[in-house]
Amino acid sequence: MKYKIIGGIIAAVFLLGVIGSVVVMTAQPKNTVQILSDGEVLYTIDLGTAEDTTLTVESGGHYNIVEIKDRQIRVKDADCPDKTCVGMGWLSSSSMPIVCLPHKLVIQFTDDTGDVDALTR
């Protein structure tokens, strides 16, 4: 009996996780993108008007090379040990941020304000 209860709790947690994942995955991408390092906003970029470019974000002697191309943004290269941020690919189809944990770098969609420059620092 107790195993049914425990199993039920596990199933409920699993279902919540699946539902949450679906909600996050299906969230619509926005136009405005923020690049944060260590919690501070370094760049705010409007992908709708941004030109193709690459940015190098440095922090604590390490770097992430961020590429903007065809109105999409990704981490092209980094010198972190796991390169998870590179593997995450383009920030496009979901509202999941790109995160580089070792370098405390976050690339995320933010609310469109409409008056952001193409590239502001």
Partner 1 sequence: MKAKKLSELALLTAAALIIFVIELQIPYPFPIPGIKPGFANIITVYAVYHYRAHEVAAIAAVRILLGAVFTGNFMALIYSASGTLLCLLAMLPLKKLIDENHIWMTSVIGAVLHNTGQMAAALILMQTPQLLLYYPFLIVSGCFAGAFTGLCAQFITKRLSKYRKVIR
* Contact residues for partner 1, defined by CB under 8 A: 2-3, 6-7, 10, 13-14, 16-21, 23-24, 36, 38-39, 81-82, 84, 87-89, 95-97, 99, 101-102, 104, 106, 108
- Which regions of 47-112 does DSSP assign to beta strands (E)? 53-59, 62-69, 72-78, 98-100, 105-110
What is the Cα–Cα distance from 25 to 5, expressed in whole angstroms? Answer: 30
Instruction: Give whichever of 39 and 61 is closer to partner 1, judged by the CB atom.
Output: 39
Min separation Cβ 22 and partner 1, Å: 8
Q: Please choose, from the candidates 99, 118, 88, 113, the residue with its C-alpha nearest in 3D space to the C-alpha of residue 30.
A: 113
Instruction: Give whichever of 9 and 118 is closer to partner 1, judged by the CB atom.
Output: 9
What is the Cα–Cα distance from 113 to 13, expressed in whole angstroms? Answer: 36
Min separation Cβ 51 and partner 1, Å: 26
Min separation Cβ 111 and partner 1, Å: 13
